Amino acid sequence: MSVASLQSPSDWYAQAYAEQGLQADTAQAHALLAMDALWHELIEFKSQRNQFLGRSLLSPDVPQGLYLWGGVGRGKTFLMDGLFACVPYQRKRRLHFHHFMAEVHHAMKLHAAHADPLIAAAADIAHATRLLCLDEFHIDDIADAMILARLLEALMARGVVLVTTSNQAPDELYAHGLQRQNFLPAIALLQTQLKVLQVDGGHDYRLQAGAAASFFITPNNHASEHKLAKLFEQISAGLSSHDAPLQLNGRTLKIKRAARNSVWLNFYELCEQPRDQADYLSLAQQFSYVFVSDIPLLNAERGSAARRFSWLIDVLYDHHIKLIASAAVSAETLYAPDLSAADFARTRSRLIEMQTRHYRMLSPN
């Protein structure tokens, strides 16, 4: 395989920035050096592996992965996507961290009869994946926290190269979580087995994109509901619609309307009831447009709903699903001061980006 015939992450980055009319960022440029180095190592590793039959004692060392962290909207996902696009592997995957963990828990259920379901699930992942790119590494679920160290260790031992992004440094993950001492081995693995790089140029690039006519309508009143109804009719024009409840992972979800490409729900039903990332993933897989009515001001009293709403936005954003919503206040002020600003800064930034022309042009995935 000739490196000269392939596009490097740096080349991909320069082309993408030129096409979008953006200016290069010094913090991103530093991370690109590490991206290019890993890209070369992965190509060399594949070339050397092809010289041997199967797994032999002469097999080359697996390249070290990357952990990119920094504030919201700093371009971490953009950088990771560039690496993913340029690595000439068939055995590669790129997905949101919450989506990945939902798959792991599902795989463990399928392997329930195995002596160690987690190891069996890790073996399946490693068999299908050499390069694993996980966006938004963020631990807020104790079930994820308790298994992550063993999962990471099992994947790395089987030759999986991990590249991940996060808003937090490894030692800040799950900072106030229950039984955090059981999560510390996972932090140690991230710090020792991955190259940890901070990407923080001080600019939120999501806020610099040109905004389209807002689909985030305020305040919550009859006029807003009427606007949502008209938008739903426009987007689902010519498609039959219904108000029959949806079944998501064995749970019933009441809706206002649904058509082949769109679903319209109330915030109370979507986020005030017991839901998880798998439910939101199911929505993203079924619909290109998600309408949400009556989003309230999210404060400490609605802490659980606020967390679920963040999960929802993460899933919709990662799959390029279009959000049309009515809310009590603007996206910038949706989270009240009595909630941790750090926990919800990513959601705020993504909500704003989801109103831009650039995001609206993305095709669902």
Among 9-18, 19-28, 62-71, the least confident range: 19-28
Q: Is the pLDDT of residue 14 over 80?
A: yes
pTM (global) more than 0.75: no
| pLDDT on residue 142 | 85
| pLDDT on residue 209 | 44
| pLDDT tens, position by position, 161-209 | 999 999 889 998 988 788 888 899 999 999 999 999 998 765 555 444 4
Phi, psi of 309 (to 5 degrees): -65, -40
Among 84-93, 196-205, 321-330, 342-351, the least confident range: 196-205
CA quadruple 216, 219, 220, 226: dihedral positive or negative? negative
How many helices and strands in the chain, by DSSP H and E?
13, 12
Q: What is the mean pLDDT of the chain?
A: 86
Mean pLDDT for 275-290 is 90
Q: Is the pLDDT of residue 67 over 80?
A: yes
| pLDDT on residue 338 | 78
Domains of the chain: 3-198 (3.40.50.300), 210-360 (3.40.50)
Q: Is the pLDDT of residue 23 over 70?
A: no
HEC readout, 168-229:
CCHHHCCCCCCCHHHCHHHHHHHHHHEEEEECCCCCCHHHHCCECCCCEECCCCHHHHHHHH
